[in-house]
Structure 1
C-alpha cells in the first residue's frame, strides 16, 4: 500500500468526493506527520472553489499561524498551469518532469449544463499529447473528435455508466463514436453491474476495461 505522504504531486479533476475525498488526510498527515508540502496542480479559477467549498472546514482551523487560520497554501506547494488560448477550451498546460500535461475543461455537472462553459469546473487530462483521461464528463463527442484530430490520440480513458442520462457518458453513447476512435477507448468509472453490458462492449470494439492493479505501458 502506498503511503499518501510519499506521493509528490496531486491533480484534482473536480470536487466530487470520489475525487477529493482523501485530500484532507493527505493535507493533515503531510503537515503534522511528514512535515512537508506536496505539490498540487491547480488552476487559479478552481482554487477558491476547492478550498472554500470543500477543504477549508476540515483543515483551516487546526492551527493559528501569524494570527490567522491556515490557508490552502500552508498545506500545498501550488503548481499553476499556464493558460493556452491556442489550445481547445483555453486549456492549462504544465511540464512535470518528462511529462507534458494539459488540463481540458469538460462538461460534467450540473446535469442541466449544455456546454462546458455553463458547467462547474471539471477537467480531463491530456498526457504528452498522446493519452486523454476524461476525469468525469457527460458524453462530449465534439471534444473527443477535436482532440483526436489535433493530436491523433493513442488512447482514451473514458468514464462510462450503464444508462444514458445524468453526469457521465453511457456505454450506449460511447458506442456511437467512430469505430476507429472506439478502438482506442478504455472504459473506466463503470458500475459493479458492468458485466451486464459486455455484449454491447464487445460489439462496439472498445479497447477494454481499465482494471484495478493492471498496468498499461505506453512507450
Structure 2
C-alpha cells in the first residue's frame, strides 16, 4: 500500500442532495488531513468509517459554508469528546473572514467563557504557499472563485492537482506538472463562480483535460456523463481514493 493517499469525501455542489460537500482527505503513515470541512463532513467521514478522532489537521481553501461550516462540530467534539486540538492550516488573509465573520458567533463562547480561534484549534498560517507534514508536501496556489474572496487549490507531492472551487484557470493549470487532477465544474449556465463544462473544454488542452476528474457538480450529473467521459477522465465519486 502507498504511504500517501488522497480520498474524495464529497463531490457535490453546495446545492446537491445526492452528494456530500466538495471536501477531501489526505492520509500519510502518521497524519490525516482534511481539505475543507463543510457541513456534511461528519456524515462523509462516517461513510469512510472514520470520526473526528481520526483527524489531525484541516486545510481551508476558502470561506464558504460547504467548506467551513463543519469546523464548529469538529471543534466541539475534538475539545470535549476527544480532548485534543486539531491543527488548522489557512492563509493568514482569510483568518478574519473565517473567525470574526463566520465561526465566532457559535464558537466565541462556551462553558469555559469567551474563546478565540486559538482556543479551539492549533492555528498555523501557510508560509511560502507550502505545507510539509510527515510524507506530505502540499503546495498551494490561488484560483479564481468568487471575486475578492481568497481561494486556494493544492498540488500534492507534485503529483495530484486539486482545484477547490474555481472558474477556468488555464493560466494556472497549464504551468503545473501533475499526474492526476480534480477540478471544479458546474453543469449549469447561470453560476458565475464555478467553471462551466464548456469553458473547461474550450480553455484547457486535451493533455490537461485527460488528467482531470470533475467534482463539485449538481445532481443532474448523469445527463452530462457521456460528454464528461468524452473530454475528461470522468466524474469524481465519493470514496474515490488515489494512492500516490
Compute the TM-score of the two structures, normalised by the length of structure 1. 0.83
Distance 1:182 1:34 in 2: 42
Asked if the contact 2:168/2:199 (under 8 Å) is kept, the reply is yes
Distance 1:137 1:210 in 2: 16
How many residue pairs end up in the alignment?
A: 194
Equivalent residues in 2 for 1:106-125, closer than 5 Å: 106-109=143-146, 113=147, 119-125=148-154
Compute the TM-score of the two structures, normalised by the length of structure 2. 0.75
Does 1:144 find its partner at 2:156?
A: no
Distance 1:4 1:70 in 2: 21
2:71 aligns with: 23
Cα-to-partner distance string for 1:160-214 (whole Å, 9 max, x where unaligned) = 111244111011111121111111011111111111112322332x112211122
What is the CA RMSD across the aligned residues, in angstroms? 1.5
The 4+ residue runs of structure 1 with deviation greater than 3 A are none
Cα-to-partner distance string for 1:20-53 (whole Å, 9 max, x where unaligned) = 1211011111112211111111221111211001
1:133 aligns with: 162
Unmatched runs of 5 consecutive residues or more in structure 2:
1-45
Unmatched runs of 5 consecutive residues or more in structure 1:
84-91, 114-118
Q: How far did 1:7 drift?
A: 0.6
Which structure has more helix as a fraction of its residues? Answer: 1
Distance 1:52 1:155 in 2: 36
Q: 159, 165, 174: which one pairs with 2:184? A: 159
Classify the secondary structure of the residue corresponding to 2:243: coil
Asked if the contact 1:101/1:127 (under 8 Å) is kept, the reply is yes
Which structure has more strand as a fraction of its residues? Answer: 2
Relative contact order higher in (CA < 8 Å, ≥ 6 apart): 2
